[in-house]
Structure 1
Amino acid sequence: MRLFRFLLLFILSTQFVVAQDAIIPDDYKDYIKARVDKGINPSISMAYIVGDAVEFYNYGKTQLNDGESVDKHSVYEIGSISKVFTTILLADEILKGKMKLSDPIQDYLPESVTVPVRNDKVITLKDLATHTSGLPRMPGNFKPADLKNPFADYSVKQLYDFLSNYELPRDIGSQYEYSNLGMGLLGHILELHTGKTYESLVVNRIAKPLDMADTQIEFTDKMKSHLAIGHNEQLETTSNWDITTLAGAGAIRSTTSDMVKFVKANLTDDGSDLYKAMALSHKIAYTNDAKTFNIGLGWHYSNGDSIVWHNGGTGGYRAFSGFLKDSNKGVVVFTNSTFSVDNIGLKILGQPLELKIPEKRVYPEVVVLSNDILDSYVGKYQLTPQFFITVSRKDNQLVAQATGQPEFEIFPSADNEFFLKVVEASITFNKDEAGNIVSMTLHQNGQDVPGKKIE
């Protein structure tokens, strides 16, 4: 009886604290609940920060079927939010006088690596940190053995080979192009420069000082026990991603509880070296010629540059973290599926968006084709002077790789018709009168883009 009274008292007091700190509007909670109840997301974990007040709202399960209820300690992959950890580490080195934004990255790489140049201009640390290096989104030699864990086997040697043989398509610093390669390379440079692993830099310079015990790359036993299992586009459970060489682009795992500490640290000037590095990362570092786009060191801006944010995604997760500049408001939103939660985070920070329930795609029935037919589609197709799609076969599965993007599976719905699951798009392979495959047509966003087979 005494134990029951204690439990009842604890429950009542907990409910009172939550009620006192209720700052997430009910319509956001209703929207999150609707998305989970409709099977769009197995779970959504959200934290909203207003000054000293923080409210967590966690709804759903760690796994779509037979999972446990998520809470603020549930572990998610945060994907590309890792990039702002990388740029904060860079900013820390800059403030310590050990690196400069203007430093050529060639100075930090082995002599055997030849970093591409263009018009006598070299790629600098700033170019990597602002996605303006001219390097593509993904390296062209990125051909994973396991598409469910695509970064696991990409090696440092492959990275160096790609850099040494790549020709930049435009002037360095002239244009923003989001690059996992560039930010992953920045993380690798920080490893070479400090002599420490990327994970140890994240843990010792950011996570430990902020008491973020469940924020790192390698799973601890505790993190494994609290893992929200990732789900792919079909809401099937999928693999976690092991990002090694390009860890700085998206390898970190965390919880909403830990990320609240991270966001609050970005908002709170406590005079620490860490805050100073964070503040430097917030400053606008690149503006396009039209004055319509700004980016800090890794951080993106929205709503007249008042919202500072970054999102992330891996094979089974989506994440958003951001805050209002010159305010005390911030937000973290995680989910263990590939249906984005960006709109929740951006809207609560003031972006004028409508909270719509995403629609699950209905895929055509997959037909079985012989390997001989599949082989006839293998080749390289040119859709624009600098945009190609390369098709290859892995066992009885065709995969395609667009310029600057990772490989993705394509699935046959007819002899010459294939569809994608990663995005809403399809491909038609076209024959000449002799029955030879001579081109493809990419159907996407209401457009039909032809591509001649060149290999």
Structure 2
Amino acid sequence: MDIGRESLGLVAAVLDGDRRSIFAHGQSGSENNRPLDGDTVFEIGSITKVFTALLFADMVLRGELAPDDPAAKFLPDSVKMPDFEGAPITLMDLATYTSGLPRMPSNFAPKDWSNPYIDYRAERLYDYLSNHKLGFKPGTHYEYANLGFGLLGHILERRAGKSYEDLVVSRICAPLGMDDTRITLSDSMQQRLARGHNAALAPVANWDFSVLAGAGALRSTANDLTKFLQMCMDPADGPLAAALKLTLSERRPRASERYVALGWFVANRFGDEVVWKSGGTGGYATFIGYSTKTRRNFILLSNAADYDPNTALATHLVNAAYPMPKLYREVPVDPAVLAAYTGRYELTPTFALTVRADGARLFVRGTGQDELQVFAESETDFFSRVVNAQITFARPEGGAAPSLVLHQNGRDRVAKRIP
């Protein structure tokens, strides 16, 4: 991978029996210009969900709650949790991405998109839950779950009477000797923090979480995550080993030959079983995963938001049958050509792509989604560095492109310009 074009820097870790190998390449981008190493701190984003699931399993084994407990049981009486024809959302539904709740709440409206989660607090979460209608029976429909895992983490801290961070530290980090996995950075961690960068490799702010901390708030290092990975691959006797076994005991379908466990993703392809989880925030992309059959494993931490290439590269390194990521190369395009693409393009009656040109830059926003910058691979072909999606514009007619094709999830979908 061409680090100079896809990321500012990478730290990787591999376990081979009791041997731990750490590799670093590139720059931290921090003010002190500290070299990258196994103690460099990264935001690990949604890898946090694996910790949330492990906490949930630990609390189940301690008898503090049960997998089939309704989520409503642990929320204030004033909160009216949605159900589906009387079927409630259970804690296990939340832990397996099958609650029926959407990825994000519709009242998620940050004052500052550079730090989007900090002002989403419990009262807004409660208001959303009390007014939401489920479209699927809990336990039957997979949907990626920032909302669901944030809610699960909040429920765990309410049940335990401790903050989410205190639970992670006391029940997971302390037993494993993970002193650099925290939400709140110590002075030492702050000095070792790699600066996050967006997909265009521009520095960005770190993310802070409030009520949805269980979805993505943790920061960690390659050395700390290696301790966690060692426990996953060779669980010693003890409370965490039993909890880990529980997190992998329930499998629900995600897609063909792909499943979700509690927090983890599980892929049964190429004669192998790979257990993995990726993560990302505004300035970081991360991966942790291992094969249950070959025992190949990998941790990959990037201080840029190159989510899809980072995950694809790491998965390939766990099992070479998974393809290497395609690396797109940006080329300059005349701003007048970009201006011809500005407009709205309808994919379905309820979903459109709004394209906006800003000089030499082009942006796309899907209905109800964040605006993303797209980059030119040619005069008509554009790619995203945030999601695995590409767009091909039809050649402009009369000064405007009549249509575009969205390439995503193996599909090519035509969207015509809306007058």
Once structures 1 and 2 are overlaid, which stretch shifts more, 116-125 or 279-288?
A: 279-288
Residue 178 (structure 1) shift: 0.8
Once structures 1 and 2 are overlaid, which stretch shifts more, 65-74 or 49-58?
A: 65-74
% identity of equivalent residues: 38
Q: Do residues 335 (structure 1) and 307 (structure 2) align?
A: no
Determine if contact 2:347/2:414 at 8 Å carries over to the other structure: no
Q: How has the CA–CA distance of structure 1 residues 40 and 105 changed in structure 2, closer, same or farther, with 3 Å as cutoff?
A: same
SS in 2 for 1:59: strand
Residue 283 (structure 1) shift: 1.9
Q: Do residues 52 (structure 1) and 22 (structure 2) align?
A: no
Q: How has the CA–CA distance of structure 1 residues 126 and 402 changed in structure 2, closer, same or farther, with 3 Å as cutoff?
A: farther
Q: Do residues 344 (structure 1) and 344 (structure 2) align?
A: no
The equivalences for 1:407-446 within 5 A come to 407-408=370-371, 422-423=386-387, 424=389, 444-445=406-407, 446=412
The residue number in structure 2 matching 1:310 is: 277
Once structures 1 and 2 are overlaid, which stretch shifts more, 307-316 or 321-330?
A: 321-330
Q: How has the CA–CA distance of structure 1 residues 387 and 273 changed in structure 2, closer, same or farther, with 3 Å as cutoff?
A: farther
Residue 306 (structure 1) shift: 1.2
The residue number in structure 2 matching 1:130 is: 96
Aligned equivalents of 1:201 and 1:450: distance in 2? 51
Determine if contact 1:383/1:451 at 8 Å carries over to the other structure: no
**Partner AA of 2:260 in structure 1:** I
Determine if contact 2:257/2:268 at 8 Å carries over to the other structure: no
Q: How has the CA–CA distance of structure 1 residues 240 and 401 changed in structure 2, closer, same or farther, with 3 Å as cutoff?
A: farther
Aligned equivalents of 1:390 and 1:166: distance in 2? 27
Aligned equivalents of 2:334 and 2:132: distance in 1? 39
Residue 278 (structure 1) shift: 1.2
Aligned equivalents of 1:262 and 1:83: distance in 2? 14
Residue 355 (structure 1) shift: 2.9
Determine if contact 1:144/1:151 at 8 Å carries over to the other structure: yes
- Report Cα offsets for 1:186-224 as digits up to 9, x if no partner: 001111111111111111111111111110011111111
The residue number in structure 2 matching 1:265 is: 231
The residue number in structure 1 matching 2:147 is: 181
Residue 328 (structure 1) shift: 4.8
The equivalences for 1:387-402 within 5 A come to 400=365, 402=367
Aligned equivalents of 1:190 and 1:110: distance in 2? 14
RMSD over aligned Cα, in angstroms?
A: 3.4
The residue number in structure 2 matching 1:298 is: 263
Structure (1 or 2) with the larger CA radius of gyration: 1
Residue 277 (structure 1) shift: 0.7
Q: How has the CA–CA distance of structure 1 residues 63 and 181 changed in structure 2, closer, same or farther, with 3 Å as cutoff?
A: same
The residue number in structure 2 matching 1:322 is: 289
Aligned equivalents of 1:136 and 1:155: distance in 2? 18
Determine if contact 1:425/1:442 at 8 Å carries over to the other structure: no
Q: How has the CA–CA distance of structure 1 residues 126 and 356 changed in structure 2, closer, same or farther, with 3 Å as cutoff?
A: closer
What TM-score, normalized to structure 1?
0.76
Aligned equivalents of 1:266 and 1:135: distance in 2? 29
Once structures 1 and 2 are overlaid, which stretch shifts more, 300-309 or 116-125?
A: 300-309
The residue number in structure 1 matching 2:339 is: none
**Partner AA of 1:221 in structure 2:** D
Residue 401 (structure 1) shift: 6.3
Match of 1:116 among 82, 98, 115: 82
Unmatched runs of 5 consecutive residues or more in structure 1: 1-33, 368-376, 392-397, 429-439
Residue 59 (structure 1) shift: 1.1
Aligned equivalents of 1:46 and 1:326: distance in 2? 21
Residue 252 (structure 1) shift: 0.4
**Partner AA of 1:346 in structure 2:** T
Aligned equivalents of 1:140 and 1:441: distance in 2? 29
Determine if contact 1:198/1:247 at 8 Å carries over to the other structure: yes
- Report Cα offsets for 1:401-439 as digits up to 9, x if no partner: 644x5x33579x9xxxx99774556799xxxxxxxxxxx
Q: How has the CA–CA distance of structure 1 residues 317 and 366 changed in structure 2, closer, same or farther, with 3 Å as cutoff?
A: farther
Aligned equivalents of 2:203 and 2:228: distance in 1? 28
Determine if contact 2:196/2:203 at 8 Å carries over to the other structure: yes
The equivalences for 1:70-85 within 5 A come to 70-85=36-51
The residue number in structure 2 matching 1:437 is: none
Aligned equivalents of 2:287 and 2:30: distance in 1? 21
Determine if contact 1:299/1:309 at 8 Å carries over to the other structure: yes
Residue 73 (structure 1) shift: 0.4
SS in 2 for 1:449: strand
SS in 1 for 2:11: strand
Aligned equivalents of 1:353 and 1:90: distance in 2? 31
Aligned equivalents of 2:161 and 2:19: distance in 1? 39
Match of 2:158 among 192, 199, 207: 192
- Report Cα offsets for 1:309-365 as digits up to 9, x if no partner: 100011111000012226654321101011232223212222513334622445767
Determine if contact 2:181/2:218 at 8 Å carries over to the other structure: yes
What TM-score, normalized to structure 2?
0.82
Aligned equivalents of 1:143 and 1:400: distance in 2? 15
**Partner AA of 1:359 in structure 2:** Y
Q: Do residues 41 (structure 1) and 7 (structure 2) align?
A: yes
Residue 150 (structure 1) shift: 1.0
Q: How has the CA–CA distance of structure 1 residues 122 and 450 changed in structure 2, closer, same or farther, with 3 Å as cutoff?
A: farther
The residue number in structure 1 matching 2:183 is: 217
**Partner AA of 1:125 in structure 2:** L
Residue 268 (structure 1) shift: 2.0
Once structures 1 and 2 are overlaid, which stretch shifts more, 293-302 or 223-232?
A: 293-302
Q: Do residues 154 (structure 1) and 120 (structure 2) align?
A: yes
Q: How has the CA–CA distance of structure 1 residues 201 and 227 changed in structure 2, closer, same or farther, with 3 Å as cutoff?
A: same
